[in-house]
Amino acid sequence: MNIEQVEAQIARAQSWRGTPLGEAGDMSVLERRQYHEALGRTVRPAGVLILLIERQQQLNVVLTQRTAHLYDHAGQISFPGGRQDEGDADIIATALRESAEEIGTDSSQIQIVGTLPHYVTVTAYDITPVVAKSHPQKYVCEAFEVADAFEVPLAHLLDDKNWRRDSFLREGQRREYWAVPFNERYIWGATAGMLRTFREVLLHDLVTT
């Protein structure tokens, strides 16, 4: 899939918003919001950057590995991104700022393609995934939060054979989630859920020419 096809599919996604399972793993976005509301939690807005890099005529998706000492999601794979600050003009500005802070991307070299459906996490963040494209950039990881920045071929994420549904027990209930391992990396949970929605959007009624 090339960047022109990605852009076309993201544009079409404004009228198609995927499946609840694709949006939130084991709950729909609405169910997740209701879950947090019942517990008296405030759901906070956040933005992540799904940055597409073209290398050797293929598109790659930029991901990060969080450092092992963090309180939330230590050691896990994530997108560059974070919660929205008061000074951010909008959620796109949030995603760009967080990416620059976490992995040193140059926002002036990044072009926004569009956004995906919101994803509400178990940690009470309402995440907007922002899809963007850029020429190859040099990643400089913020040492406290980010252990590594790496790229996964988009073709790997589009291939259904690389996906699986895993599960764990929480409070006596089995919870399922998406996982899409890549080499030694175990990509799962919210990151995999958003990537699964991204995959669904890119492949939805795709007509090849």
The CATH architecture annotation of domain 3-153+192-199 reads Alpha-Beta Complex (3.90)
| Residues 21, 99, 181: CA angle, nearest 5 degrees | 45
Q: Is the pLDDT of residue 65 over 80?
A: yes
Give the range among 26-40, 152-166, 193-207 with minimum mean pLDDT: 26-40
Task: Dump pLDDT digits (tens) for 110-119.
Answer: 999 999 888 8
Longest dimension (CA), the chain: 50
Domain regions of the chain by residue span? 3-153+192-199
Percent of the chain clearing pLDDT 90 (strictly above): 56
pLDDT digits (tens, 9 = 90+) for 15-41: 665 554 445 466 677 777 888 888 888
Q: Give me the residue label for tokens 């795709």.
A: 206
Mean pLDDT is lowest, of 26-30, 92-96, 145-149, for 26-30
Give the other-Cβ count within 10 Å of 18's Cβ.
17
